[in-house]
Copies of this chain bind each other. A is one copy, B any other.
Amino acid sequence: MSSLTEQRIRNPEIRKRVTDAATAAAHIRDGMTVAMSGFTPSGYPKAVPVALAKRVRASGEKCRIFLMTGASVGEEVDTELTVSGILGKRIPYQTNDHLRRGINARDVAFLDPHLGEMDGQVRRGFFGSVHVAVVEACTITEEGHIVPTTSVGNSPTFLQVAEKVIVEVNTAQPMQLEGLHDIFCPGDPPNRKPIPLVRPGERVGEPFMRVDPDKIVAVVMTDQKDAPRGLGEPDEACIAISRYLVDFLQHEVNQGNLPNTLLPLQSGVGEVANSVLKGLVDCSFSELTVYSEVIQDGVLDLIDAGKISFASGTALTLSPARLEHFLSNLDLYTKQVILRPQEITNSGEVISRLGCIAMNTAVETDIFGNVNSSHVLGNRLINGIGGSGDFARNGYVSIFCTPSIKAAGAISSVVPMVSHVDHTDHDVDIIITEQGLADLRGMAPEQRAVSIIERCAHPSFRDALKEYWERSKLGGGHFPVDLETAFSWHVNFKRTKSMK
């Protein structure tokens, strides 16, 4: 037993359960529901899923499982388990190319809950029993508590409900991660308690996850880093969107609707979102806070620039260089960053109380502000709804951003009717494209349509949208739609590869 193992596994009884990945993976069998840690490719197990895939490929045995995670995980999980045919069912949000193909071929059944709701639904038994949980840890404490690594996600719940637990202790994750996390479990009705958070930076829980030590059937030592993805430089459209957003926030401050510290910021994942955060580096706001799912590059930049005083999330989703920088300066960052369970970061209760400014990305919006976040042409999943619905539904103001055109102008992101609805117009206050910003607050459907067409649509699609809108109005009603041609743009695109 190495001193490294002793340092990382401080409970001597649990230390005896260290084994290799293949032995641990033997606990996973056909028909099981398996829950793994991880949220955006951070803090996911890296050895057991690979060993499982290897075993199944070698033996040719039938092994189909239902896999739960916090959100998207690394290739060691989703690629390995998809290509080896192990994934029968998967929940929730994912970003893996192989898995996406499997889901869209309906080889893999996919469930897409709001990320903030999943913990509770797992505990209520909506998805049946959880047979094995595989959770990456930084350390196991003397008491047998588990300190997570670069994400928390749904792991506290998985540890609570799983029949068996496998821990991957990852020595590539620095020990100083201990203390970064704040684990609070609100419990369930009828005995659920208020979540006492009233400021993004408050600590209300414990720095570790509790688990019944008797359930830990195996511990595997690993030393492999997370494989986060880098983001490209923002393009012109992203920069323009970001300017409109900052101008809007400045206007709200000038009007006295928001303090100069704004309200806690939430931003989705991806290039538009990251660019929006970058746009805040030169703003006149100060002492900003973040209450979001992910701590991404843009957040770190704002902390470094002295703009953000505190950031709360459930995962670090940093590009490789920024992750290295973060982990090398943990002593500094742990004063300004906290990782929580996703049922807390994405809790409607807390988001509503703090008054988060919700900034998310749309795949497409219609002229009323119904938003599609997840499916191309109505049927093909991209990633999933993620936490966008948690924040859009409960935030102080709900903003959706998208470039007005895609595919070199063949696709308009502003359409007569969205081909899939993730967020209804009730939950969408502001639409921003590089063309402009539509402030829909206080507007009836008719005004919303005029505003979105005029301010957000690309000029090359604006006349066609106006034509659709005039035609819809002929049919009358409070919410004019022309059901005969509402999807004609999408149908056209399927045939000609252009919405025009």
Contacts and interface: CB of A to CB of B under 8 A. Distances in A.
A480 B379 contact: yes
Given A349-B349, A394-B348, A446 B481 contact: no
A166 to B, nearest CB: 23
A442 B113 CA distance: 9
A189 B379 contact: no
A109 B352 contact: no
Given A355-B192, A477-B375, A491 B483 contact: yes
A98 interface: no
A497 to B, nearest CB: 15
B192 A389 contact: no
B477 A109 contact: no
A237 interface: no
A499 to B, nearest CB: 12
A487 interface: yes
Interface in A446-494: 446-447, 472, 475-481, 483-484, 486-487, 490-491, 494
Contact of A478 (B110, B114, B352, B353): B110
Contact of A389 (B355, B380, B426, B478): B426
Interface stretch (A157-165, A399-407, A417-425): A417-425
Contact of A479 (B259, B375, B494): B375
A400 B257 CA distance: 37
A414 B89 CA distance: 26
A452 to B, nearest CB: 16
Contacts of A476: 104-106, 379-380
B353 A348 contact: no
B421 A89 contact: no
Nearest to A357: B189
19 contacts: A89-B444, A106-B476, A114-B426, A126-B442, A188-B355, A189-B354, A190-B354, A192-B353, A377-B483, A378-B477, A378-B479, A379-B475, A379-B476, A379-B477, A380-B476, A385-B426, A419-B481, A422-B426, A423-B424
| For the complex of A and B, 6 pairs with smallest distance between CB atoms | A189-B355, A379-B477, A109-B444, A349-B349, A483-B487, A421-B421
Interface of A: 89, 103-106, 109-114, 117, 120-121, 124-128, 186, 188-190, 192-196, 198, 257, 259, 261, 263, 348-349, 352-355, 370, 375, 377-381, 385, 389, 393-394, 396-397, 419-424, 426, 429, 441-444, 446-447, 472, 475-481, 483-484, 486-487, 490-491, 494
